């Protein structure tokens, strides 16, 4: 499937695939050094700045914030005595994977979750490289996509016991399967995405765009009358439909699993909606943040910075004519992330949409831009990590 030029790009990217590891590993190491420096800064400041929750997050280390929920779910599942009621908003994909590999680490839950998250982060960077080179045909964009993931401050959660690493890995695999015209593999990835995070269901939208594009391409005259339509067989239609439906099926499976704790299929969404304090359209929410800043209330400064930064990357992607399905994924991800009265975690919600990082790589086409973005990105990651550990911002 696909045009001859796309086939050539794909073969070129696959042939040079061995080049993915080095830039991916470089970015992976940079991120972990930056987070380590963030720990050092946080410890240095801990006795001199206000810490809303004391040394709680510093003491919890890489298992802090959401990691504490993933730990207890992995250990006791959703019915465990130590699992709080609000834990049902954390979907079972990551804890289930942790339970599967725990035995390798002699039952050490923390180590299992951290190795999973950090290993998935490296694998995600490698897949980003493949996704970029097969979509753009540009080796330099692919290299930058792989290492620049490590200098996005919001990606610091991929060092912690968070599910974002796995989500980015699955998203990249999903988009790569669609790009290569393999909707069956995309369906498998989409199913896991739905089990992994509530936002995994958003992958149904780029799948629908790609399915429609395939449907139009294969509407050739003079096709076999036994085909379901044009150059399409019934099996083709079924497989593409499964790619579109799989994220929603995964979501339903996750809700069924977590609802065994509460008996309410939608309890996870109700809790999440309460935490987000309801929906608000992104433009008025950003305007409200500007009013808050003018009044000296700076709680959302990091979230607004991320929101504006990812919006700018969407414009970059549009100007570089990224695939329509990618633009749809970026737009809806941004809209959902920013569209809440509580804007916490905008950055990490957006970073799992893989095309944003590719857009950053496309923007950084000159050496000067690369140096500036790397320098600012590392410094911002160090500071953002310190703020997270001091309890002054929710990652």
- Contact residues for 199 (Cβ-Cβ < 8 A; gap 6+): 167, 333, 336, 349, 352
- pLDDT tens readout for residues 341-389: 888 999 999 999 999 999 999 999 999 999 999 999 999 999 999 999 9
Closest CA to 349 of 95, 167, 188, 129: 167
Closest CA to 337 of 281, 394, 262, 258: 281
Task: Give the relative orientation of helices 4-15 and 109-136 as an angle to the nearest 10 degrees.
Answer: 130
- pLDDT tens readout for residues 150-179: 999 999 999 999 999 999 999 999 999 999
Domain boundaries, given as residue ranges, for the chain: 4-389
Please give the Cα distance from 181 to 284 (Å, whole number).
39
Count of CB atoms situated within 10 Å of the CB of 80: 14
CA 228 to each of CA 186, 208, 217, 231: distance values in angstroms, whole numbers, following the listed order: 22, 18, 14, 8
Closest CA to 350 of 368, 367, 332: 332
pLDDT category at 296 given cuts 50, 70, 90 is confident
Please give the Cα distance from 298 to 77 (Å, whole number).
37
């Amino acid at each position: 499937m696909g045009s001859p030029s796309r086939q050539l790009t794909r073969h070129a990217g696959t042939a040079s695939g061995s080049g993915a590891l080095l830039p991916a590993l470089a970015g992976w190491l940079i991120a972990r050094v930056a987070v380590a420096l963030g720990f050092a800064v946080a410890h240095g400041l801990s006795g001199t700045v206000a810490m809303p929750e004391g040394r709680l997050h510093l003491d919890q280390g890489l298992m802090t914030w959401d990691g504490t929920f993933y730990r207890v779910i992995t250990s006791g599942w959703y019915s465990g005595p130590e699992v709080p009621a609000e834990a049902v908003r954390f979907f079972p994909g990551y804890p289930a994977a942790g339970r599967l590999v725990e035995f390798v680490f002699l039952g050490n839950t923390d180590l299992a979750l951290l190795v999973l998250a950090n290993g998935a982060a490296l694998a995600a960077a490698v897949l980003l490289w493949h996704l970029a080179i097969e979509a753009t045909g540009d080796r330099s964009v692919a290299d930058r996509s792989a290492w620049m993931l490590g200098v996005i401050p919001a990606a610091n959660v991929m060092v912690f016991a968070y599910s974002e690493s796995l989500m980015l890995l699955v998203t990249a695999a999903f988009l790569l399967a669609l790009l290569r015209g393999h909707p069956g593999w995309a369906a498998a990835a989409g199913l896991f995405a739905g089990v992994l995070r509530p936002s995994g269901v958003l992958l149904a939208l780029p799948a629908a765009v790609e399915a429609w594009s395939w449907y139009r391409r294969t509407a050739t005259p003079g096709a076999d009358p036994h085909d379901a339509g044009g150059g399409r067989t019934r099996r083709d239609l079924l497989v593409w439909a499964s790619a579109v439906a799989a994220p929603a099926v995964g979501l339903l499976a996750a809700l069924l699993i977590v609802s065994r704790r509460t008996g309410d299929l939608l309890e996870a969404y109700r809790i999440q909606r309460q935490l987000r304090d309801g929906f608000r359209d992104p433009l008025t929410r950003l305007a409200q943040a500007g009013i808050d800043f003018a009044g000296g209330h700076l709680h959302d400064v990091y979230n607004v910075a991320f929101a504006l930064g990812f919006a700018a990357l969407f414009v970059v992607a549009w100007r570089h004519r990224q695939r329509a399905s990618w633009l749809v994924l970026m737009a809806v991800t941004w809209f959902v992330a920013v569209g809440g009265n509580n804007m916490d975690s905008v950055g990490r919600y957006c970073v799992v949409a893989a095309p944003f990082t590719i857009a950053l790589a496309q923007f950084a086409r000159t050496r000067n831009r690369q140096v500036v973005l790397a320098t600012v990105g590392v410094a911002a990651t160090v500071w953002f990590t310190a703020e997270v550990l001091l309890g002054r911002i929710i990652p």
